Structure 1
Amino acid sequence: MRGEASRISDRASRDSMAARLKDAGERACRIGRELFDITALLDGNPAIAAALTDPSRPVDDKSAFLRTLLGDKADPLTAEILTDLVKRKWSRPKDIANAVEDFGVDALMYYADFTKSTLKVSIELAQLHSSLLNLPVVRSKLYDDLATPEARVKLLRELLANSGFDQVTMILAEHGTANLRKRRYLATIQWLIRKLSNHMGESMITVTTATPLTPEQMHKLVALYTAKLQRPIHINSVVDPAVLGGMRTQVGDEVTDNTVVNQLRHLEGHIKATA
């Protein structure tokens, strides 16, 4: 959990750079990749993160150190974003890596906007999430910290070889396994889906069913929750055969579970309580 200073710095920096990233067009893809590389560098080298966030160190000194790290190969906007971040206050050194990752996701979302593929990326990430629910062995290998990042990425590419997924979907999916950041892989994908939903100005409703929703069911759910919440919504359809039947919906922290497996749990609990 980030401290107050880090939350303020992260939000202020991203707000100040949003228009620049939005206007980056095709360059935004490269910028996103570079920011993910920097995230991995900071995660793997706590001393560097500490040097870039040290409040006792002059800003000019930190900026000079940053320029040395980047060299002359990074996109100028990547350098500008990172320079803005090192000028701000951070609760903990590791929080700057979180902010860099946030910027990387932002850059790729803006690139998806540029290529008109934002909704496609969101749907594909939801499809990946659903697929992995039924592949527990593969899922565990994608966040196996004993395997190398290269091995995990290779496994993911083999899994998605014939998926036809968008370039942005692949970059985000690969980032989630290349740099684990102490997260389970499905949690990272779910986080990315939420960010895309927020980016599109929609509220995300996660609906879990044993079989895929039909177009008619999707339409009814969209109409129902749009009227209920009075704002655009995006259905994140999760297919999990383990629920057996029925439907579980999650809106923010509110969960309504009408699945068969949940009803069976309640029945089992009732029988034990009355036995």
Structure 2
Amino acid sequence: MRGASAESLATLTEELGRVIDSGADGARIGDDLFAVSEVLRREPRLRRVATDLSTAPEAKSGLLRQIFGDKLDGASLDLVAKAAGLRWAGPRDLGYSLEELGVIAVVKAADRAGQADALEDQLFGFGRLVSENPGLRDALSDPARSIHDKQALVRGLLEGRATPAAIRLAEQSLTGTHRTVAVAIAEYQKVAANHRNRLVATVRAARDLGDADRQRLAGALARQYGRPVHLNVVVDPEVVGGLSVEIGDDVIDGTVASRLDDARRRLAG
């Protein structure tokens, strides 16, 4: 998102932080913002009116207050009204931004409950589950199944195994804002990491890492990048030994296979 839309999203993100830090229910706000985002995606006329630059900001804010006033928590309604009064580069940007704000609200609620680390791990695990199971992936992308049916399937898979925040974001990933469920979950992971001021590293290893190994690796990466780092560990039988780490656009390949390939190239040269 660029230009006016990026500036408006930044303004709303700051306001959301102040509201939740003041004691508002982040989980409720997240649900409310997801619901409004869905209405805006379904209703192109409302979307156009709410972002029309020729209409006074007060009029647009008042319209959304009138439409959603008896359906939203007061803090959520204030955010939605404020969003309508800001400038957007395109009509769709308002709905997309409200969804991102909803993700941030859910993350903040999980952080307050001491479950933010678990949330990040569970989002990664759910994304892997979908990617590695063609039957599940097909069921979640089947246009003949309703969103509610797909969400019920996900709840059945995750209830008792994941935090409420992870389940809520897994359900939201099915609404169709993003191209696929996997893409949606990856975006939510980025939002969660950004708003906890962390980086995310995907680590591939032949076996799972123990707590001490995870702490040492996370500490070394944090010192290198100057920010805390959350590790997503993938056990990959093709990794003969050592580790491969992807963090942002960087790849640190310390696997045995990589070192052997380097040695072969040097010998061939």
Of residues 117, 120, 130, the one that matches 1:119 is 117
Query: Could you tell me which residue of structure 2 aligns to residue 182 of structure 1?
Result: 178
Give SS of 1:238's match: strand
Deviation at 1:173, TM superposition (A): 1.1
Normalised by the length of structure 2, the TM-score is: 0.87
Q: In 1, distance between residues paired with 2:22 and 2:166? A: 21
Say which is worse superposed, 211-220 or 102-111, in terms of deviation: 211-220
State the match for 1:231 in structure 2: 227
- Correspondent of 2:165 among 141, 164, 168: 168
Q: 2:33 aligns with which of 32, 35, 42?
A: 35
Where does the alignment leave 5 or more consecutive residues of structure 1 unmatched? none
> Secondary structure in 1 aligned to 2:178?
coil
Evaluate the alpha carbon distance shift between residue 76 and residue 162 of structure 1 in structure 2; reply closer, same or farther with a 3 A threshold: closer
Query: 1:259 and 1:40 mapped to 2: Cα distance?
Result: 44
Match of 1:159 in 2: 157
Unaligned segments of structure 2, at least 5 residues: none
Distance 2:78 2:10 in 1: 16
Deviation at 1:251, TM superposition (A): 1.3
SS of corresponding position for 2:173: helix
Over 3 Å counting, the alpha-carbon distance change for 1:76 and 1:224 in structure 2 is: same
CA contact (8 A) 1:42 1:48 kept: yes
Contact persistence 2:203–2:245 (CA under 8 A): yes
The match for 2:68 is 70
Q: Deviations over 1:41-100 (max 9, x none)?
A: 111222211110000112232122212220323111111101111111111000001110
2:67 & 2:32 partners in 1: Cα distance? 12
SS of the residue aligned with 1:248? strand
> Between the two proteins, what is the percent identity of the paired residues?
25
Q: What TM-score comes out, normalization by structure 1 length?
A: 0.85
Aligned residues: 263
Q: In 1, are the aligned partners of 2:204 and 2:239 still within 8 Å (CA)?
A: no
Asked if 1 retains the 8 angstrom alpha-carbon contact of 2:62 and 2:81, the reply is no
CA root-mean-square deviation? 2.6
Question: Residues 72 and 254 of structure 1: is their aligned pair in 2 closer, same or farther, counting only changes over 3 Å?
Answer: same
**Pairwise CA distance, 1:133:** 3.5
